[in-house]
Chain A
Amino acid sequence: MIYQGKQKIWSDYQKEIPDNHWFYVRSCIRQSFFPASEGHFVKIVRDLLGKDLYETPHHTTCGGIAYHSDTIPQETAMTIVARQFSLMKEAGYKNLVTSCITSFGNYTEILETWREFPELETRIREHLWKACRREFDKPEYVAHASDVVYKLRNEIAEKAKFRLVNHETGEPLRIVEHIGCHYSKMFPHKGVGGAEYPCVLSGMVESWGGKVIDYPERRHCCGFGFRQYLVKANRGYSVSNTHKKFESMEPFHPDLIITNCPGCPYFLDRWQYVISEQTGKTYGQNGHGIPALTYEELAGLVLGYDPWDLGLQIHQVGPEPLLDKMGIAYDPARKYLGLDEKDIMKPGLPTVLKCC
């Protein structure tokens, strides 16, 4: 592979990400799947790096799940988003940062729609006024939280206590990066690196010392996508897509998967259990599976936060082999103790996939 060819394409799709004063909107489902991710994003950006990141307790979901599942019409979703914008205007911010990738796609799509159909924007202003007497301004810049971490990746690398390197052999870890479809594929110009070779996650991985794996199904969707997995009988479609990705990445022996979407690491993590129960096959070394982390969890690991505070015990695929590879110390006894050392109970173990 000719690396300079990819870099030339990335340079065509660079975007200017502002580096301070963001208004943060959270995700509706990420707190359930990855409980500590958003908290650590705030901790790293605000407390550790000293940037201005504001979130209001009054903000809500963006309506993306309902919109993409066809349960609410587009105008309703737009009105919900308009309220978020009016909260942002009240707080005096112009840069919006979203935690979820579907939110990012939703906000971008709505702003593009309003740009092409200004009469729709006027109608939504009326709706919002009638609903809750609020007015809004459109944000100057919409970024995703992974864009912000990408922008700050070198500052994180400077403060890092661990690098993405196998501390016994000194080899960089082999990392698969998986980008959410709503980030790179809906509006390629709004994502760093375009649709074919997005570099928002590979940039992070490389500045933290890892090695990105390029494999044939790298750009394939993981199969998450609301309509197909909400109905149980349709989930075969979702799991087949993830299965295709795993079959393709297997010969490359990755150590870890990093993603920037809420649904993707959830699927890439949980489906390994389903695939192991249905076909008896596991990926990764010694039947342990390949850990799928979010970029906030990986940033937290690299900066030296405790793995159990980062919520890694909630993952289906056990993170212990990865932590051992990186040389990160952890206390196995504290794994299933929550906040204030409360016992949060142990899960049952799967029959095929090995978990500690």
Chain B
Amino acid sequence: MKESVVIIGGGIAGLEAASQLLALGLSPVIVEKSDHLGGHVAEWYRLFPDLSPAQDLVTHLVSSASGARIYLETEISRINALKDGYSATLNNGDVLFCKAVLVCTGFHLFDAAKKEEYGYGIYDRVITNRDLEHWFGGLEDARIPDNPRAVGFVHCVGSRDVKAGNTQCSKVCCMTAIKQAIELKEKFPEAEVYCFYMDLRLFGKKYEDFYISAQRDYGIHFIRGRVSEVSEDIDGRLLVKAEDTLSGKPLKVRLDLLVLMAGMVCSPQTGRIASMVRAEVDDDGFLRSRDNIYSIVESGRKGIFFAGACTGTKTVPETVAEARAAALSAFRYIKEKA
């Protein structure tokens, strides 16, 4: 009888962990609350910096995890600790017995409507990074005009903002903004694209080249300063006011589309999941790992492991690497106990 591991969440972390556990000879079970696998990445179009299609990654992960037992549209009601493992009760009545639990619940996108001054949900031409990514993927969106002359990106919406309730940086939005700016320029070469940033966080492999290409090859304008207010002009265009910190003066520009880079915050169910597995919630709202350097995938509680954005903001390669590390840690834990 193969030992079982329950994986909470069927996003890329959960799928990669499942495929590794299968290769190691264990029996993973994925419990996913939505109706599809692949989590947030399944909704995206292309991944930086190579601009490889997100669907390829998700399809590959789903097929390599196909040997696992998968529950969709199911949530976990209760987890009880047993003498040598855990029992997880699902909301459809099934009870799963396992040796270890792997939490891969991921993140939640900040609700951009909370920043009232940007007018999300109030003005017709204001959208978020997720809306834009869906549109690139082929979904219709009436808010995006057919031939925009000017487009703006606002960095740090809901991140690094004590008033929005999240002081942390969401890590991936600067690169995502540059990626989406380039993709928009490819679709509308005549449009002027402005990125309003506070700082540019471009820390990874080939990220700086991506930025240089955005500036030099695509002519995207980067303006350092916060957007203060968005309003609507008589012809429906957005009037955006920002502070141009480098010249020390206020600046205004009329745009046809404004994209808000909504940040990553912890999912609202984190508290519930944390109490079920008796894990701690850190003061940034995400789950707390045993430490932040060597044991990120461990929770400090026996048999409970973490992978992916549930412990903090992560990029896709980091999530996949953590999923593999968590699978290996779970495997070693189970073998040592036996």
Contact = CB atoms under 8 A, between A and B. Distances in A.
Determine whether A and B are in direct contact in the complex, meaning some CB atoms lie less than 8 angstroms apart: yes
Interface of A: 1-2, 5-6, 8-9, 194, 196-197, 214-219, 251-252
Contacts of A194: 116
A323 B239 CA distance: 34
A98 B120 CA distance: 35
Given A214-B232, A216-B231, A216-B232, A2 B121 contact: yes
Given A9-B116, A196-B117, A2 B234 contact: no
B127 to A, nearest CB: 12
B232 A1 contact: yes
A216 B239 CA distance: 7
Q: Which secondary structure dominates chain B's binding surface? A: mixed
A218 B231 contact: yes
B113 A5 contact: yes
Interface residues of B, number: 15
Interface in B76-125: 113, 116-117, 119-124
6 contacts: A2-B123, A2-B124, A5-B113, A8-B113, A216-B232, A216-B233
Given A9-B116, A196-B116, A216-B233, A1 B121 contact: no
Contacts of A2: 121-124
Contacts of A215: 231, 234
Interface of B: 113, 116-117, 119-124, 229, 231-234, 239
Contacts of A9: 116, 122
B172 to A, nearest CB: 27
A6 B124 CA distance: 12
A1 B124 contact: yes
Contacts of B229: 219
A127 B239 CA distance: 51
Contacts of A216: 231-233, 239
Nearest to A216: B231
B123 A1 contact: yes
Contacts of A5: 113, 119-122
A8 B121 contact: yes
Contacts of A196: 116-117
Lowest 10 CB-CB distances: which A-B pairs, in order?
A: A5-B122, A5-B121, A216-B231, A196-B116, A251-B234, A216-B239, A6-B122, A2-B122, A9-B116, A252-B234
A56 B86 CA distance: 73
Nearest to A250: B234
A1 B122 CA distance: 6
Most B CB within 10 A of own CB, among A5, A6, A196, A218: A5
A226 to B, nearest CB: 24
